[in-house]
Amino acid sequence: MKGQDLQYVLDWIAVQELVAEYGQAIDFGKDTGDWSRWVNCFTPKLVADYTRLFGGEPITLAREEMGKLGSDALAPYTRVQHATANTVRTHFKNATEAQVMAYADVGHFFSLNGVPQEWTLVIRYTHDVEKTSEGWKIRKVLLDPIHHRGNLLGAEFVRGKRLV
């Protein structure tokens, strides 16, 4: 794609919006229990690679399953906040495929014996996206943790530990 043509600019803006929506929709899902915005970020089938945080193998699933995945992963937290950097980089492979890298600080908030706690994870997301009849959608997401700070119990929560 040429950097000067109008379609490139329109696609670039749409991809930027998709990456911002990814994080905002997770926060909205956690706050409201309505994960439809997040689910709508994906192609009908996708690969979710959260192995660098959780271990295991990447999973292939239907986008409708992503709502439960997000809800279950964030169950121990009272709130989450994705602050996606505006230094999103997009590499268009062709007119309908691109790879996008974006950094985010993701605050995970919880209470321990009535005391507010925070665990923040600095992440690099790599999204393989494609242009569909519904617009640009994520077909593969890779979460790469860079750094974390705060109460490390938050890290244990994301790996499945629960308080008794």
pTM of the model: 0.91
| pLDDT tens digits for range 1-43 | 455 689 999 999 999 999 999 999 999 999 999 999 999 999 9
| pLDDT tens digits for range 41-81 | 999 999 999 999 888 999 999 999 999 999 999 999 999 99
* Domain assignment present for 120: yes
Number of neighbouring beta carbons within 10 Å of residue 101? 17
The CATH number of the domain where 63 resides is what?
Answer: 3.10.450.50
How high is the pLDDT of residue 164? 60
* Domain assignment present for 163: no
State which residues form the domain around 47.
Answer: 6-158
Number of structural domains (the chain) is 1
* Domain assignment present for 164: no
Number of Cα atoms under 13 Å in the Cβ half of residue 84: 20
